[in-house]
Structure 1
Amino acid sequence: MFLYVIFIVIFILLALLYLVFKIISPKCVELQGSHVLITGGSSGIGKALAIEAVKQGANVTIIARNEKKLEDAKKEIESHIKDRAIQRVFTTSVDITKDADIVKEAVNKAEKELGPITILINNAGSAVAGRFEETSSQQFQRMIELNFLGSVNVTKAAIKGMKENNGGRIVFISSQAGQVGVFGYTAYSASKFALRGFAESLQMEVKPYNIYVTMAFPPDTDTPGLAEENKSKPRETILISDTVGLFSPSDVAKSVFTDAMNGKFLSYVGMDGWLLCTLSSGMSPATSVVDLLQQIFTMGICRFVCQFYLFHFDRIIGKCKREKDSKMKSS
């Protein structure tokens, strides 16, 4: 009898929790005719995001530094437009890490061309991989400027318009290295971890304006940026990254858009992505009762499983060190 009562109470509580989330959960954003602004949109994940946006009927602004790459990307993105009679792709060249006033001017120009921003995707970024003592102070500074402060500048430029329109989505493209520190990424991981704190704080501020923030944590993605990064990546980092595998930009883009449109705070790709997001959910905003319950009941087992990953990574690093020591002795 007692267990039966407990079961009924739990069922009622879960039902009430579901109803509360049903009421407070963000409504899905409609992309048809909306304005999506993407930084770093001339290649890789950024370009894939732009293509996904126009396929769903949105107008798109892509921001990057290289004008030639912007023009080439624009042509490719336009080839995927759903309705050429009403959709447009706008490009503007600006370094988002420099003068905040110049960034604001670029964002204002985009809004004049395509209307108020519905979804802002802070995608611009790069990675430096190397052992800590081999990573210069200038490289640390560059990572913070591009991967963190650049997103701050663009978001600051766009936030006023979103508040005035009482709605919108802000997306930060982080990395799985923004959830767990990885060998060789002391500079990169630090800059991506900074985005998480910024995003959580910002979500509290903008939620009353019906603006929802999404933190996306893609794994290694087959982009020109990754190819360039791999040229100088330590062997340990390569072997650790191989544990997760390689994903396509289009798969990442589809996942990010689905989660952003639904107002989810944590966005992931693949099983390892789910594992990390569950484990690192912590005090992150919850917009889905299903996600919340899943995190509550599986966090313990995820913590257990992740210890095997860490043990595997330690073995990789230890093996590489022994091989290096052996070569030094024989030389």
Structure 2
Amino acid sequence: MFLIVAISLFGLFIIVLYVLSPLIAPKPFKLEGSHVMVTGGSSGIGQAIAVEAVKAGANVSLLARNQAKLTAAKADVEKYVKNKDTQKVQCISVDLSRDFSEVERTVKEAEQNLGPVQMLINCVGTSISGVFEEIPLTEFKRMLDINYMGSVHATRAVVPSMKSQQHGRIVFVSSQAGQLGLFGYTAYSASKFALRGLAEALHMELKPHNIYVSLAFPPDTDTPGFAEEQISKPEETRLISETAGLFKPDVVARSILSDALLGRFLCYIGVDGYMLTSLTCGMSPVISITEATQQVVTMGLFRIISLFYLDSFDRVVRKCKEKREQNKSKSS
């Protein structure tokens, strides 16, 4: 009896989603001729996304702090321009984490050259890892200033023009560390988790204006920032992170851009990314009956699998603790 009721309710759920799904599907978005702004575009995932955008015919603005890196990134991105006669790539140096009026001025300057921003990729970010009590308190604020407020400032600067166009895409690049908290990421994870609350609330505000928000959760990616982070990363963090593998920036970039064009809210990369995203979907928006059904069907199974992951993570932490204690006793 219970099984029949459960199947009936699930069937009703699918029917309701089927009826509603045409109402929530976003309008198509074309990159060709569009103005795509990429913050943190001087290297890593941001630069890789810029490359994919120009390959598709977009005009691109790269925003970051370091002018020398921006100039080098611009030269690299321009190699992949689809139409050299009409496409443009520009770079502007600005500290997105500080003064909003300066960020607003920079965005307006970019729009004067390439027209209104139609897609914003918030890729600006930095990372730090360490044991909670050993991370300077100033680093907690710095993570929030760069990873969170940097995205707030850039987004605030483009939303008015997107509303006037009644068209746009906004992407927040979080991290798999923004889906679950891991050893060593107390400062970093908090700043990346904050992006989710911003993205969900903003999506609800902007959807009536045909502006769709996407939230990306890239895994460890082979970038200069990742290489720098590896130098001081605690052993526990390194061992746990390795379970998801290391991805190439172009693979991550293509996946994020593809999901953003479709208007998907949650963007994932790889098998572990799919599991984590389905497992942590919560009250996040969906754009299709297929996406919603997959989340409902897989969530229970993925929760079971996640328990094994969590147990393995705990084992890593315990072994590292025992190893340090043994080394300490030998040296004393």
Q: Taking structure 1 as the reference length, what is the TM-score of the superposition?
A: 0.96
CA offset at residue 72 of structure 1?
0.6
Secondary structure of 2:62's partner?
strand
Matched, 1:236 2:239: no
2:212 equivalent in structure 1: 212
Map Cα deviations across residues 148-180 of structure 1 (whole Å, 9 max, x no partner). Answer: 011001100010000000010100000000000
2:56 equivalent in structure 1: 56
- Cα pair distance change 1:84/1:4, threshold 3 Å: same
CA–CA separation in structure 2 for the residues paired with 1:10 and 1:52 = 40
Q: Summarize the alignment of residues 172-321 of structure 1 with structure 2, pairs less than 5 Å apart.
A: 172-321=172-321
CA offset at residue 141 of structure 1?
0.7
CA offset at residue 4 of structure 1?
10
CA offset at residue 13 of structure 1?
6.0
Aligned 8 A contact 2:24 2:288 in 1: no
Secondary structure of 1:222's partner?
coil
Give the CA RMSD over aligned residues: 1.7
CA–CA separation in structure 2 for the residues paired with 1:254 and 1:214 = 14
Map Cα deviations across residues 245-302 of structure 1 (whole Å, 9 max, x no partner). Answer: 0000000000001100010000000000001100110011111211101111111111
- Cα pair distance change 1:316/1:23, threshold 3 Å: same
2:30 equivalent in structure 1: 30
CA–CA separation in structure 1 for the residues paired with 2:263 and 2:275 = 20
CA–CA separation in structure 2 for the residues paired with 1:150 and 1:14 = 39
CA offset at residue 28 of structure 1?
2.4
CA–CA separation in structure 2 for the residues paired with 1:103 and 1:207 = 24
CA offset at residue 18 of structure 1?
2.2
CA–CA separation in structure 2 for the residues paired with 1:32 and 1:63 = 20
**Structure 2: which 5+ residue stretches go unaligned?**
none
- What amino acid is aligned across from residue 84 of structure 1 in structure 2? K
2:68 equivalent in structure 1: 68
- What amino acid is aligned across from residue 116 of structure 2 in structure 1? P
- What amino acid is aligned across from residue 230 of structure 1 in structure 2? Q
- What amino acid is aligned across from residue 197 of structure 2 in structure 1? G
CA–CA separation in structure 2 for the residues paired with 1:4 and 1:198 = 40
CA offset at residue 45 of structure 1?
0.2
- What amino acid is aligned across from residue 74 of structure 1 in structure 2? K
- What amino acid is aligned across from residue 24 of structure 2 in structure 1? I
Give the fraction of aligned pairs with identical amino acids, expressed as a percent. Answer: 52
Secondary structure of 2:18's partner?
helix
Secondary structure of 1:242's partner?
helix
CA–CA separation in structure 1 for the residues paired with 2:272 and 2:199 = 22
- What amino acid is aligned across from residue 283 of structure 1 in structure 2? M
Map Cα deviations across residues 179-222 of structure 1 (whole Å, 9 max, x no partner). Answer: 00000000000000000001111111111111110000000000
Secondary structure of 2:143's partner?
helix
- Cα pair distance change 1:13/1:188, threshold 3 Å: closer
CA offset at residue 44 of structure 1?
0.3
Q: How many residues align?
A: 329
CA offset at residue 107 of structure 1?
0.5
**Segment of structure 1 superposing worse, 42-51 or 289-298:** 289-298
Map Cα deviations across residues 221-242 of structure 1 (whole Å, 9 max, x no partner). Answer: 0000000001000000000011
**Structure 1: which 5+ residue stretches go unaligned?**
none
Secondary structure of 2:70's partner?
helix
CA offset at residue 14 of structure 1?
3.0
CA offset at residue 15 of structure 1?
4.7
CA–CA separation in structure 2 for the residues paired with 1:102 and 1:6 = 56
1:120 equivalent in structure 2: 120
2:325 equivalent in structure 1: 325
Secondary structure of 2:92's partner?
strand
CA–CA separation in structure 1 for the residues paired with 2:222 and 2:78 = 22
- What amino acid is aligned across from residue 244 of structure 1 in structure 2? A
CA offset at residue 10 of structure 1?
6.4
- Cα pair distance change 1:7/1:184, threshold 3 Å: closer
- What amino acid is aligned across from residue 127 of structure 1 in structure 2? S
- Cα pair distance change 1:131/1:201, threshold 3 Å: same
Map Cα deviations across residues 14-42 of structure 1 (whole Å, 9 max, x no partner). Answer: 35522421232102210010000000001
CA–CA separation in structure 1 for the residues paired with 2:316 and 2:8 = 50
